[in-house]
C-alpha cells in the first residue's frame, strides 16, 4: 500500500478483555515503531522492531503489553486484561532504514482504544 | 530525562496572520528535531526535520529554526490559512543509534476565515 495502515481504527473493550491491534507498515520498511498517545498528550514510545527483531521494548508500560513482528512486516500489539488507563490512540510508524537517525518515520492513522 | 514542552497549548487566529509556535527541550544533546502535523483521526505527517548541525529549515510557508544550546525551536507559519488548522507536534531524537522520538504535548491551532 501507499502508506502505513492500522486496524481496527476504533476498538471498544470491556475492562479485563484482551485486544490485538494490527499495523501494516510501508512495504520494504525495515524499522517499525509503536507509540501510545493519551488524550491531549504527545505520542510516547512503546517499542521498536528492526525486521522481526524487537530491539527496544523499554516503553511498554507493563507486562500486559506484548508486541510481535514474526515475519518482519506486519506487527501486532497485544494488550492483555485491559485497564481503563490503557485508553489511548495507538500509533504505528515505519521507516526505511535500520536506524531512524535522520530517517523520517511514516505514521499510520492510529487505533483509538476505549476501555470501559 | 529529556522533556519537551510546547507553548502555547492552543491558538486561535484569523486567516492571514503570521504565527510562531514554540518548542523547548531540557537536554541539548539531540541528534535532530522534527515538526509534525496531526489532523483529527489521522496519523502524523512530518513537516520539517532539522539536524543538530543546522539552524533552520524551510518548506513553503513553513520555517523551523533550532537553537540547540538554548534548547529551543520555533515553527513559523506565514500567511496562515484555514487548512493549517491542526495539532502541531515537535519531537527530538537523542542520538543516531536510538529510535525513540520524544514528543512535546502539541499546539492545537485553529485558523478561522
Strands B101-103 and B86-93, by their bridges, are antiparallel
- Integer CA distances (angstroms), A92 to A9, A33, A34, B26, B83, in order: 12, 6, 5, 26, 25
CB B15 within 8 A of CB B113: yes
What pLDDT was estimated at residue A96?
87
Residue range A5-52, pLDDT digits in tens: 999 999 999 999 999 999 999 999 999 999 999 998 999 999 999 999
In the structure, what pLDDT confidence band is assigned to residue A104 with cuts at 50, 70 and 90?
Answer: confident
What pLDDT was estimated at residue A1?
52
The mean of the pLDDT values for chain B is 92
User: Does residue B10 have a pLDDT over 70?
Assistant: yes
Question: A97: nearest CA in chain B?
Answer: B99
CA A50 to chain CA mean position, Å:
14
Q: Residue with C-alpha cell 502555547?
A: B8
Is there a contact between A105 and B102 if contact means CB atoms under 8 Å apart?
no
What pLDDT was estimated at residue A101?
60
User: Does residue A2 have a pLDDT over 80?
Assistant: no
What pLDDT was estimated at residue B40?
85
Candidate from A41, A99, A104 with C-beta closest to B49: A104
Is there a contact between A108 and B32 if contact means CB atoms under 8 Å apart?
no
What pLDDT was estimated at residue A102?
63
Set of chain A residues whose Cβ sits within 8 Å of the Cβ of B103:
42-44
Q: What is the largest CA-CA distance in chain A?
A: 40
Average pLDDT over residues B59-66: 96
In the structure, what pLDDT confidence band is assigned to residue B94 with cuts at 50, 70 and 90?
Answer: confident
What pLDDT was estimated at residue B93?
87
User: Does residue A97 have a pLDDT over 90?
Assistant: no
Give the residue from A40, A90, A100 with the most B CB atoms within 10 Å of its CB, the best one to mutate. A100
Candidate from B31, B96, B103 with C-beta closest to A42: B103
Encode B39-67 in three state secondary structure. CCCCCEEEEEEEECCCCEEEECCEEEEEE
Set of chain B residues whose Cβ sits within 8 Å of the Cβ of A3:
43
In the structure, what pLDDT confidence band is assigned to residue A99 with cuts at 50, 70 and 90?
Answer: low
Residue range A62-92, pLDDT digits in tens: 999 999 999 999 999 999 999 999 999 999 9
Q: Can you tell me the distance from the alpha carbon of B107 to that of A73, in angstroms, rounded to the nearest whole number? A: 33
Amino acid at each position: 500500500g501507499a502508506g502505513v495502515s492500522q486496524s481496527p481504527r476504533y476498538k471498544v473493550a470491556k475492562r479485563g478483555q484482551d485486544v490485538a491491534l494490527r499495523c501494516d507498515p510501508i512495504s520494504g520498511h525495515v524499522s517499525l515503531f509503536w507509540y501510545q498517545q493519551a488524550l491531549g498528550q504527545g505520542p510516547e514510545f512503546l517499542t521498536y522492531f528492526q525486521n522481526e527483531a524487537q530491539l527496544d521494548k523499554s516503553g511498554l508500560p507493563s507486562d500486559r503489553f506484548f508486541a510481535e513482528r514474526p515475519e518482519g512486516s506486519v506487527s501486532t500489539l497485544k494488550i492483555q486484561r485491559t485497564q481503563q488507563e490503557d485508553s489511548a490512540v495507538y500509533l504505528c510508524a515505519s521507516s526505511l532504514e535500520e536506524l531512524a537517525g535522520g530517517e523520517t518515520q511514516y505514521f499510520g492513522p492510529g487505533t483509538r482504544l476505549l476501555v470501559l | 530525562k529529556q522533556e519537551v514542552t510546547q507553548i502555547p497549548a492552543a491558538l486561535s487566529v484569523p486567516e492571514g496572520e503570521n504565527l510562531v509556535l514554540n518548542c523547548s527541550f531540557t537536554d541539548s544533546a539531540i541528534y535532530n528535531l522534527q515538526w509534525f502535523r496531526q489532523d483529527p483521526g489521522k496519523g502524523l505527517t512530518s513537516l520539517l526535520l532539522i539536524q543538530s548541525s543546522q539552524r533552520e529549515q524551510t518548506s513553503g510557508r513553513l520555517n523551523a529554526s533550532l537553537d540547540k544550546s538554548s534548547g529551543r525551536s520555533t515553527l513559523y507559519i506565514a500567511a496562515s490559512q484555514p487548512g493549517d488548522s491542526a495539532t502541531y507536534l515537535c519531537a527530538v531524537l537523542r542520538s543516531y543509534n536510538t529510535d525513540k522520538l520524544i514528543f512535546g504535548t502539541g499546539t492545537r491551532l485553529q485558523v478561522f476565515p
